[in-house]
Structure 1
Amino acid sequence: MATIRARKRTDGSVSYTAQIRLFRDGAQVYQESQTFARKEAAKAWVRNREAELDQPGAIERANRKGATVKEMIERYLLEMKKVRPLGKTKLATLNAIGESYFGELHDKDINSQKLVEYALWRMGKEGGDVKPQTAGNDLSHLGAVLAVARPAWGYEVDSQAMGDARKVLKKLGYNMRSRERDRRPTLDELHRLLTHFHGIQARRPTAINMLKMTGFALFSTRRQEEITRIQWADLDEVGHRVLVRDMKNPGQKIGNDVWCHLPPEAWAILQTMPKERPEIFPYNAESISASWTRACQFLEIEDLHFHDLRHEGVSRLFEMDWDIPRVASVSGHRDWNSMRRYTHLRGRGDAYVKWEWKDKILQAPVALGARLMK
């Protein structure tokens, strides 16, 4: 049953409120109303909406309360925590989205227009005045939540909304893709950093051994999270390989275990670690990142991340004339396109062939503290 009532506004104009009320066995089971500026529009809405509600299960779907974006994010974080904690950047981004106005939207209200509006809001002054790449990262992390919300939990999420939003933003001229980093540490920067870490080790022997971590990350090309997960049981002593568990990959983040070759320099560093714990480097990945950041700030080394050591390591192998399959056997890359972003060559040959810190890193003593892991 539908009714349309005319209401006079304060400015003298007339609006039309269309109301739909549905009954079953004498009891009202659904009610909905919308207001329009024209009576014809109200009638058209009533016809279309009644046809939609006449479909099997439509009333039940319309009555469901649904879930907000914030609630979906919270559920996603809870489920992911059971498997493996998210990176701090993704975690912070998702929590920020949940606390924003977008977090109040219900699942069925999410569409491409709303996603475009959010991205434009983020790039505006009120939303933080971020770069398009940062807004693109927001959409990427949010997309991970929406991708599982419908098939896993039954939320009404338009599976095409994110793709359509990205197409629109691209047509509007926004480059939402992250800029590829080409930052590599210089030998002088590494010398300053390792000298700094050597001093810390002398004063506090049980601190994170950043000498070993830096050298191993550089020569193995491994990420900091991967390094802290490596166990002695993961080594292939004969093949000089290591099983990297849950290696980062866009299509498969959990259970993506890959055997990676360790160059001689990395293998030698690994063998100097004490076999007192199951983990070879029993440190917290976030603490490693914090130590690196503090050192760079203290030494006034700008824009150098711990992850840039992976970049340096891969580029070094190419400069030594290693071919793509051989480099990939170390880095774990599956294809050239993903490996290409790590290769910004400076010349030919091994810049570390006579590097003084190779022996210093090997000879550095290691004292594991009482509390190292999480």
Structure 2
Amino acid sequence: MGTITERKRKNGKSSYTAQIRIKRQGSVVYQESQTFERKQAAGAWLKKREGELAQPGALDKALRGGVTVREMILRYLEEFERVRPLGKTKRATLKAIADTWLGDLADTDLTSQRLVEYAHWRRSEQGGAVQPQTIGNDLSHLGAVMSVARPAWGFEVDHHAMADARKVLRKMGMASRSKERDRRPSLEELDLLMTHFSEMQQRRPSSIPMPKVIAFALFSTRRQDEITRIRWADLDEAGQRVLVRDMKNPGQKLGNDVWCHLPDEAWAIVQSMPRLADEIFPYNSSSISASFTRACKFLEIEDLRFHDLRHDGVSRLFEMDWDIPRVASVSGHRDWNSLRRYTHLRGRGDRYSGWLSAGSVKEAPRLLAAFTKS
């Protein structure tokens, strides 16, 4: 019933494709294939899969004509994008999963065993030789799809499969959470960025005022997408706070609107912005990200991300002896464990106190001027 075919790759190495064909009355009614790096692995899969299909009702289940994992992912992307744009990392990860062999699996075949098999494949050279953190991210994003596939669309998805697979993979050390970043920009790096973007604005006055955006991200601790969603109508002048709509939260993505206090520096930046649109910062979030990334590359600033400004802003407040409730009133965090991940102390006091008025190098623009000049 099954065959194994050897194929030579461009690099000279061999791969082995195990294929199952089932015929009834001379016609092929079912076929399935899987490719492996080792012939022994292909043979083991073939034997295992043939045994599964030999079980009563297994072939009828396979022929049911359900949906594939790829179709589930594409439906998830289409329907959720209508409500709220997904993060570019999540979108890219799900599309990449859909393009792998896992995307060809039927919903009924998406078991914990196949998810563990996928993790092994991702660790192999053929699957990208990725780290456990990447596998953990893959499973996390795919888990979001699986969690709605059965209750929302009636797909035959085993709701225990992902939990069981994660438990096994964690014990094997093959899946883990992303490493906590502790990267904070130095004053010298911020000087370079402010100088670079100030000069760019002088040449192109219509460009995004990145000095203000960067400073606001740092002092407000707001995320990149949140900054571009804030509206003038959501500003509480009397309370010096702003309503951050749909704030990112693992358990509640939509409708999670949180009032966040704006420290004096962030408040000054808001007051300096011209009221040209409904949004306070009416710019494209992706454009801000791309501009920041290009600048860091041009200035040879290594491993600095826009999101690190939020880490820096939270850590700064703790260094200034703010207590947990007061810091959380700015950052919007609900619990200390989440807030702790953003806290990387570098001493005591406000390291920006002198830099705000003069800058840490002679050639740097005055940051205060950067966000008080409209």
Specify the TM-score bucket, using the shorter chain as the normaliser: 0.7 to 0.9
- Give the drift of 1:19: 10
The corresponding residue for 1:304 is 304
CA 1:62–1:69: 2 relative to 1, 3 Å: closer
The corresponding residue for 2:367 is 358
**1:177 paired to 2:186:** no
The corresponding residue for 1:290 is 290
1: CA distance, partners of 2:187 / 2:130: 33
Trace 1:264-275 onto structure 2 (pairs within 5 A): 264-275=264-275
2: CA distance, partners of 1:234 / 1:279: 9
- 2:260 is paired with a residue whose SS is strand
Q: How far does the alpha carbon of each residue in 1:142-164 deviate from its partner, in whole angstroms, 9 at most, with x for none?
A: 11101100110000111111111
2: CA distance, partners of 1:74 / 1:192: 42
Trace 1:198-347 onto structure 2 (pairs within 5 A): 198-347=198-347
Q: How far does the alpha carbon of each residue in 1:49-70 deviate from its partner, in whole angstroms, 9 at most, with x for none?
A: 26x99xxxxx7x7763110011
- Give the drift of 1:130: 1.2
Contact 2:119–2:174 (Cα < 8 Å) also in 1: no
Which consecutive aligned stretches of 4+ in structure 1 deviate over 4 angstroms post-superposition? Answer: 17-21
1: CA distance, partners of 2:98 / 2:92: 10
Contact 1:67–1:107 (Cα < 8 Å) also in 2: yes
1: CA distance, partners of 2:73 / 2:22: 35
**1:89 paired to 2:96:** no
Rg comparison, structure with higher value: 1
Contact 1:20–1:32 (Cα < 8 Å) also in 2: no
Trace 1:68-107 onto structure 2 (pairs within 5 A): 68-107=68-107
- 1:49 is paired with a residue whose SS is coil
- 1:250 is paired with a residue whose SS is coil
CA 1:109–1:207: 2 relative to 1, 3 Å: same
What letter corresponds to residue 312 of structure 2 in structure 1?
E
What letter corresponds to residue 177 of structure 1 in structure 2?
R
- 2:353 is paired with a residue whose SS is coil
Contact 2:23–2:30 (Cα < 8 Å) also in 1: yes
- Give the drift of 1:362: 2.2
Contact 2:315–2:344 (Cα < 8 Å) also in 1: yes
1: CA distance, partners of 2:103 / 2:82: 23
1: CA distance, partners of 2:22 / 2:187: 73
CA 1:18–1:73: 2 relative to 1, 3 Å: closer
1: CA distance, partners of 2:171 / 2:351: 44
What letter corresponds to residue 115 of structure 1 in structure 2?
L
CA 1:49–1:290: 2 relative to 1, 3 Å: same
Structure 1 unaligned spans of 5+: 1-6, 10-16, 22-30, 54-58, 366-374
2: CA distance, partners of 1:20 / 1:98: 31
Pairwise CA RMSD: 2.6
Contact 1:211–1:364 (Cα < 8 Å) also in 2: no
1: CA distance, partners of 2:215 / 2:341: 22
CA 1:66–1:299: 2 relative to 1, 3 Å: same
Contact 2:220–2:331 (Cα < 8 Å) also in 1: yes
2: CA distance, partners of 1:211 / 1:132: 37
- Give the drift of 1:363: 3.7
What letter corresponds to residue 213 of structure 2 in structure 1?
M
- 2:142 is paired with a residue whose SS is helix
2: CA distance, partners of 1:81 / 1:45: 37
Q: Percent identity between the aligned chains?
A: 66
The corresponding residue for 1:49 is 56
**TM-score w.r.t. structure 1 length?**
0.82
Q: How far does the alpha carbon of each residue in 1:69-103 deviate from its partner, in whole angstroms, 9 at most, with x for none?
A: 11000100011111111111111111111111110
1: CA distance, partners of 2:308 / 2:368: 22
The corresponding residue for 1:188 is 188
